[in-house]
């Protein structure tokens, strides 16, 4: 469904060029939970932003259902097909939990009453209770905020969920909770879930672990040759 084909991305300025992603080929399928691991600076976030259509590759291509991100309406792609969850600053601080989740539904012009019902459903599904719907993000714990962010990602009905260190500032318990939710989304709702993480415990939960090093995905040590 989502494919990286010999993807290269270079950050350039007058003095130097950094090939942050340096020839990545990988296919990502629905119903699977992928973990991307690797040292700081190995290119994980850059790869994620290319998959999300937030940036375009300098070489190679990222395709979704066969169409390259360079040829598609990227606003539409981001609105309809991918959801991004990052470590922090996920939510609009001046909107309540419910309003945050309503946002992607408004973008899709879903009628109000219907949207409210979907948003409430998504919030409940990640364990946010009715009594918390009207709280601003600052009135929620880190784990709760992260769950609202996931509910918002779900509301848009994205087939691809990209998360960059989604458990980065959470304690172990909350972190496990988020991972369980992401895993359920892959396995029970058939979404393609790709998580960047430093946490090896999370990586252990994944169906596939992709290890990045110097902008490339390393061969898995235990991979069997096809």
**Which residue's CB is nearer to Mg ion, number 101 or number 194?**
194
**Which residue's CB is nearer to Mg ion, number 45 or number 58?**
45
Residues 6+ apart with CB under 8 A from 192: 1, 2, 28, 29, 30, 31, 32, 34, 159, 160, 161, 186
Rounded to a whole number of angstroms, the minimum distance from the CB of residue 82 to ligand ATP is 17
Instruction: Say whether residue 87 binds ligand ATP (CB under 6 A).
Output: no
Rounded to a whole number of angstroms, the minimum distance from the CB of residue 26 to ligand ATP is 15
Instruction: Say whether residue 163 binds ligand ATP (CB under 6 A).
Output: no
Which element (helix H / strand E) includes 162?
strand 160-164
Instruction: Say whether residue 169 binds Mg ion (CB under 5 A).
Output: no
DSSP SS3 for 50: helix
Give the binding range for ligand ATP (CB under 6 A) out of 38-46, 63-71, 112-120, 128-136. 38-46
Sheet of strand 17-28: strand arrangement: 17-28, 2-12, 59-64, 67-68
Rounded to a whole number of angstroms, the minimum distance from the CB of residue 6 to Mg ion is 22
Q: Which of 44, 78, 122, 152 binds ligand ATP (CB under 6 A)?
A: 44
The tokens of 112 are what? 């109000």
Q: Which of 2, 4, 7, 20 binds ligand ATP (CB under 6 A)?
A: 20
CA distance 79 to 158: 8
Which among 210, 157, 215, 225 has a CA at the least distance from the CA of 37?
Answer: 210
Q: What is the DSSP letter of 88?
A: S
CA distance 174 to 167: 8
# residues contacting Mg ion (CB under 5 A)? 1
Work out what residue 11 binds among ligand ATP, Mg ion, none; the CB cut-off runs from 5 to 8 Å by kind: ligand ATP
Which element (helix H / strand E) includes 67?
strand 67-68
The Cβ of residue 71 has, within 10 Å, a number of other Cβ atoms equal to 9
Rounded to a whole number of angstroms, the minimum distance from the CB of residue 40 to ligand ATP is 3
Instruction: Say whether residue 45 binds Mg ion (CB under 5 A).
Output: yes
**Which residue's CB is nearer to ligand ATP, number 38 or number 143?**
38
Instruction: Say whether residue 11 binds ligand ATP (CB under 6 A).
Output: yes
**Which residues here bind ligand ATP, judged by CB under 6 A?**
11, 18, 20, 38, 40-46
- Residues within the interface to Mg ion (CB under 5 A): 45
């Amino acid at each position: 469904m989502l494919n990286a084909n010999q993807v290269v991305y270079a950050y350039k300025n007058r003095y130097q060029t950094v090939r942050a992603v340096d020839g990545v080929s990988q296919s990502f399928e629905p119903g699977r939970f992928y973990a991307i691991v690797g040292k700081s600076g190995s290119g994980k976030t850059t790869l994620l932003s290319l998959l999300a259509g937030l940036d375009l590759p300098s070489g190679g291509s990222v395709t979704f259902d066969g169409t390259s991100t360079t040829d598609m309406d990227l606003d539409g792609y981001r609105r309809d097909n991918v959801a991004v969850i990052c470590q922090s600053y996920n939510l609009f601080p001046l909107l309540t939990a419910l309003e945050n989740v309503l946002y992607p539904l408004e973008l899709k012009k879903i009628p109000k009453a219907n949207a409210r019902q979907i948003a409430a459903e998504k919030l409940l599904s990640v364990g946010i209770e009715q009594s918390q719907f009207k709280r601003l993000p600052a009135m929620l714990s880190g784990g709760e905020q992260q769950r609202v962010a996931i509910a918002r990602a779900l509301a848009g009905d994205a087939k691809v969920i990209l998360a960059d260190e989604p458990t980065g500032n959470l304690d172990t318990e909350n972190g496990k909770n988020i991972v369980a939710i992401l895993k359920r989304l892959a396995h029970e709702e058939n979404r393609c879930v790709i998580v960047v993480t430093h946490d090896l415990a999370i990586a252990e939960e994944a169906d596939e672990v992709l290890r990045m090093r110097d902008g490339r995905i390393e061969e898995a040590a235990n991979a069997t040759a096809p």
